Structure 1
Amino acid sequence: MDAPFTIFIVEDDPWYGQLLHYHLSLNPEDTVQLWSSGQECLDNMHLRPDVVTIDFSLPDISGDKLLARLRQRWPEIPVIIISAQNKITTAVQLLKAGATDYLVKDDNTKDLLWNAIQRLRETSALREQVKRLEDQLVSKYDFSKILKGHSPAIEGLFGLMERAALTPVNVSITGETGTGKELVAKAIHMKSGRHKKPFVAVNMAAIPAELLESELFGHEKGAFTSAVVRKIGKFEEAHGGTLFLDEIGDLNLAIQSKLLRVLQERELQRVGGNERIKLDVRLITATHKSLSEEVRNNNFREDLYYRIIGLPLVLPPLRERGSDVLFLAKHFVDEFCREYQKPPISLTIGAQDKLQAYNYPGNVRELKTIIELAAVLSNGHEIEPADILFAPAGREAGFLDSERTLREYTRTIVRHYLSKYQDNVPLVAQKLDVGKSTIYKMIQDGEI
């Protein structure tokens, strides 16, 4: 069903006005109002029409003047001019003045007007749809949705994130690997006034030092041997939005100096270029290092440190978040069951105790991987302590980091259990709660 539309017809010719009114009223979902003068139209604009059609030659005010008043006070409402004049110059002037369409009075006008309003209806529906999607996207990044937990450390962080979203200052995020620094940065962007503009994330540690300048600031064609085309840098990509520089503590001093100059002058020059490009970028940085200590050790410029520090946010490691471990674990189990359409899986008391006793060097990211693996290894109803496998020291578990088919995951799990129980097929079948014939067939088919 079409969304209801309120249409104003401003026409001083009673017969012609009734003709248009009858024709547009054929759609029962629309409300059509007929006014015989420009002043009547203005007096009733509080009804908030979705579109206004104006006769160019009204008795009390000319069509161009009425158009100007409507555009001045209600610029979002489309205005269609209907006129007996077929002068192109008049039509061009009115369209330049803000008219949505210009129709010449003839036998086809009522049909042309109908079509014009249908186009406006479709445009309005698309605009509403875009707004709904934008609202949904913004709500997706509600802080409590991206950082699960109720510990005092997390609750305090939410308050600082809210302040960061409402102010234009730079933000610096410190936290261990896996604490969610990029998620926090994106949530702040999505809740800020810049959410309709780009969010550009750059992992400084992942880019070779010799390519960083070009990656950040761009380069002109011919700036160096492999520069066969102009490249737009990350700063330009983020114009009007937010640039997130992750692991900024890994920057070498030469690039730090160039970054400082760009931040101070709010403009840049591409590598090999002379043009000065103005910038409007909100900067959010992140690091797992202590930048103040890096400054003391002369590894980080003090002037750049004070330029980027802005509002500092410290993300607590998972081991300092108390009961959030179990809260997150249950969330990840439920998420796994929904994604793979599995019946609910619970955590036994023993499994909960085992999870709380671990220190999680990989933080939330590691916990998620551990829980997903435990759900796969479980009997499908409960996660037991034996299903919870922690990674060797210094290395995070990565069983589900790569995307594989269910069959490939099954082969990996069966191989693991055969190795663990010295190829004892009956015992492995018992542990995995599958028939022995299933494992024997996999061996026979060469899968394992």
Structure 2
Amino acid sequence: MNYVPESVRIFVVEDDPLYMKLVRYIAELNPDHIVHSFENGKSCLENLHENPKIVILDYSLPDMTGKDILMEIKKYNPDIQVIVVSSQESINTAVSLLKHGAYDYITKDNETKDRLLNAINNAKRFDSLTSEINALKEELNQKYEFDNSIIGESPAIQRVFKMMQKAVKTNITVSITGETGTGKEVVAKAIHHNSDKKSKPFVAVNIAAIPENLIESELFGHEKGAFTGAIARRKGKFEEANQGTLFLDEIGEMDINLQAKLLRVLQERELTRIGGNEVVKFDVRVIVATHRNLAEEVKAGNFREDLYYRLLGIPIELPPLRDRGQDVILIAKHLLGNFAKENKLGNIKLSKEAQNKLISYPFPGNVRELKSVIELAAVMCEDKLIEVEDITFNSLQKEGQFLFEEMTLRDYTFKIIRHFLDKYDNNVLLVAKKLDIGKSSIYRYLKEMEGEE
């Protein structure tokens, strides 16, 4: 299929007939340009509904100034690229027009033709990039719509949706808790991309992943020479996230001495870089997350009580996957579809038996573990159907997994006793103490177990 270039509509606003002819000639050198001419500002503004991509504007017109026309054009559509052409060589005029949104300022001289042609081509490229960026932003926002970013219909996840919907209406701090792998950062991004800050930065910081001696610099920045290796000024994450959202993951791992500084920064909405004196104000929406119970950490003396209350805001507790029922299958199918599409594997399905196996497993690693299990199963399956034998669990938490098998209470009892005997090297007295039963009961169970083998 042959590529057909998109037509570009260009307005030329010029009251000098000879110069109008020159500018039209330059603009029409490209046959894909549709050029309209206007002798004054009013007629140009009255035809903006034609949606030009570029306006080539004479600065000195009989009815309006170039600046006034520029501002009206930008008010109508800020994405229209305005190239101002003028006989004036005033730097102040050029700077003022550029500040008010002009794409370029060109003086009328012997080099006008080449400069104008370059300006038109550059404006087209800029417009194309702007459109592409806007499309990507829209795609990103759609990706993080609640229904697209968080899969599930269970009552547990519906409660999460309800809290998220409340969170996006204001800039209140949000605290997200949940086990590892439940999707805390996904929730944070979804809140950001559905709030009025969605066009601003989302900056994520994993507190646990940064060495303790660097975390202060990472968050608040530093000045040149503040410490060995500080060869230049560096902005911290708070400044990077200005006007947007700062996501502090694993906040429970922060050193208690740094917690005091974080509290002050959050309260005052200002900071001072390490080694500096300048006070830097910021406007940031803060979302924190942790897999720890911060209330218990406060009681244990590991987390400041005042910071705890400062960060609490809207609390969102993410349920573990084992408490979400059929959501496991919905998420598994979603992950399977994505993996198959990315790797061109076609349409892979889950057998009913495989689905039952997934539902009966507790997924201590939650969605992150489910993703790993599903991707391996997709690779291992035959005939585009995942069977029971294709699903392999490799959890590090082996203890107690026999509870997910369907057995009688008597069989469970045998399993529990055998598990503890294996764990404590067949020390019957210790196991009896751990299970709070008599050692004679253990010997009786052992005898019955031997009789059945």
Report the TM range for the smaller structure's normalisation: 0.7 to 0.9
Aligned amino acid, residue 256 of structure 1 = Q
Change (3 A) 1:305 1:345: same
Aligned amino acid, residue 121 of structure 2 = Q
Aligned amino acid, residue 96 of structure 2 = K
Aligned to 1:365: 368
The separation in 1 between residues aligned to 2:189 and 2:51, in whole angstroms, is 37
Shift of 1:123: 1.9
The separation in 2 between residues aligned to 1:332 and 1:35, in whole angstroms, is 56
Q: Does 1:272 align with 2:271?
A: no
Shift of 1:255: 1.7
The separation in 1 between residues aligned to 2:117 and 2:143, in whole angstroms, is 39
> What is the CA deviation profile of residues 326-381 of structure 1, one whole-angstrom value per residue up to 9, with x for unaligned ones?
12222333333333333443333322222111111111111122222333333344
Q: Does 1:139 align with 2:142?
A: yes
Aligned amino acid, residue 292 of structure 1 = A
Aligned to 1:127: 130
Q: Does 1:102 align with 2:106?
A: yes
Change (3 A) 1:346 1:265: same
Q: Does 1:165 align with 2:159?
A: no
Aligned to 1:416: none
SS in 1 for 2:289: strand
Aligned to 1:330: 333
Q: What is the 5 A alignment of 1:219-258?
A: 219-224=222-227, 230-258=233-261
Q: Does 1:88 align with 2:84?
A: no
> What is the CA deviation profile of residues 131-180 of structure 1, one whole-angstrom value per residue up to 9, with x for unaligned ones?
11221222222222222222232233234323323421111101111101
The separation in 2 between residues aligned to 1:236 and 1:56, in whole angstroms, is 39
Q: Does 1:354 align with 2:357?
A: yes
TM-score normalised by length of structure 1: 0.76
Aligned to 1:294: 297
Q: Does 1:341 align with 2:344?
A: yes
The separation in 2 between residues aligned to 1:297 and 1:70, in whole angstroms, is 66
SS in 1 for 2:341: helix
Structure 1: give runs of 5+ residues left out of the alignment.
397-448
Aligned amino acid, residue 201 of structure 1 = A
The separation in 2 between residues aligned to 1:217 and 1:95, in whole angstroms, is 34
Shift of 1:18: 4.7
> What is the CA deviation profile of residues 72-102 of structure 1, one whole-angstrom value per residue up to 9, with x for unaligned ones?
322334444445x4x533x752453345322
Aligned amino acid, residue 247 of structure 1 = E
Change (3 A) 1:166 1:71: farther
The separation in 2 between residues aligned to 1:251 and 1:304, in whole angstroms, is 11
Structure 2: give runs of 5+ residues left out of the alignment.
400-453
Identity of aligned residues (%): 50
SS in 1 for 2:37: strand
Shift of 1:265: 1.1
Aligned to 1:204: 207
Q: Is the 8 A contact 2:192 2:198 kept in 1?
A: yes
Q: Is the 8 A contact 2:176 2:287 kept in 1?
A: yes
Q: Does 1:178 align with 2:177?
A: no
Aligned to 1:67: 66
The separation in 2 between residues aligned to 1:113 and 1:293, in whole angstroms, is 67
The separation in 1 between residues aligned to 2:89 and 2:39, in whole angstroms, is 26
Q: Does 1:390 align with 2:393?
A: yes
> What is the CA deviation profile of residues 280-329 of structure 1, one whole-angstrom value per residue up to 9, with x for unaligned ones?
22111001122233334443222212211112211111111111111222
Task: Tell me how large the CA RMSD over aligned residues is.
Answer: 3.0
Change (3 A) 1:384 1:276: same
The separation in 2 between residues aligned to 1:44 and 1:4, in whole angstroms, is 18
SS in 1 for 2:364: coil
Aligned amino acid, residue 170 of structure 1 = T
The separation in 1 between residues aligned to 2:174 and 2:355, in whole angstroms, is 36
The separation in 1 between residues aligned to 2:13 and 2:231, in whole angstroms, is 59
Aligned to 1:438: none
Shift of 1:124: 1.5
Aligned amino acid, residue 96 of structure 1 = S
The separation in 1 between residues aligned to 2:137 and 2:211, in whole angstroms, is 36
Change (3 A) 1:41 1:214: closer
The separation in 1 between residues aligned to 2:28 and 2:184, in whole angstroms, is 56
> What is the CA deviation profile of residues 391-414 of structure 1, one whole-angstrom value per residue up to 9, with x for unaligned ones?
355279xxxxxxxxxxxxxxxxxx
Aligned amino acid, residue 325 of structure 2 = G
2:39 to 21, 32, 36: 36
SS in 2 for 1:389: coil
The separation in 2 between residues aligned to 1:23 and 1:327, in whole angstroms, is 58
- Residues paired across the two proteins, number: 388
